[in-house]
Every structure is written in C-alpha cells, then in structure tokens.
Amino acid sequence: MIVDLLKVFGPTCDAYGTALEGGMSWIVRPVMTGLARLTRPQFPMKFLSGVPAAAAWIAPHTRGPAGPLAPEAIATAVAHLRRLEN
C-alpha cells in the first residue's frame, strides 16, 4: 500500500524513509524492508530504527531552499511535529 501511494508522488519523490520506533520496531523493520524489496519501488525506500537514523539517511535526498537539508534540521522538524501532536 505504501508503494502504491508513493507511485502517485513518484515524479517528485527521490527517496522514502520510515522511522520505526517503539518496543517492537526491531522486528517490524526487517519485515517491512523485505516487503519493500519485493515491490521494487523506483526510488530508494528504507525502514530505519528511530528518527536520528532516518534523518541521517534521508537528508542527502532532500531539497530545501538552500540545497540538501541537514539531518539535524529533519530531527528538529520531527520533534516540533511531536510537540504539536501532544
């Protein structure tokens, strides 16, 4: 389902990363990675353990007004979104 949804955004998507967190993320990550390989998306797609790892991986694939974003900027944005949720 994730790959099908991202095909719509394919022309504008350079990479897709998912930060998995929580007690069972260690088992979900290899399962989701295997399923993603079976679907063969046309862009890099990775499931990572936590926001810092995901931010470091996706940062080179992002485009801000001044070029690629720093991993710290992505992690800061995620922290801000978490505060808004609560």
Flag whether 3 is in a domain.
no
Flag whether 72 is in a domain.
yes
Nearest one of 39, 53, 32, 50 to 6, comparing CA atoms: 39
From first to last of its 86 residues, what are the pLDDT tens digits of the chain? 666 766 676 666 667 777 888 777 888 888 888 877 777 777 777 888 888 888 888 787 777 677 777 888 878 888 887 887 76
Flag whether 69 is in a domain.
yes
Flag whether 2 is in a domain.
no
Question: From CA 57, how far away is CA 46, in angstroms rounded?
Answer: 9
| Residue whose tokens read 């862009």 | 43
pTM greater than the 0.85 cutoff: no
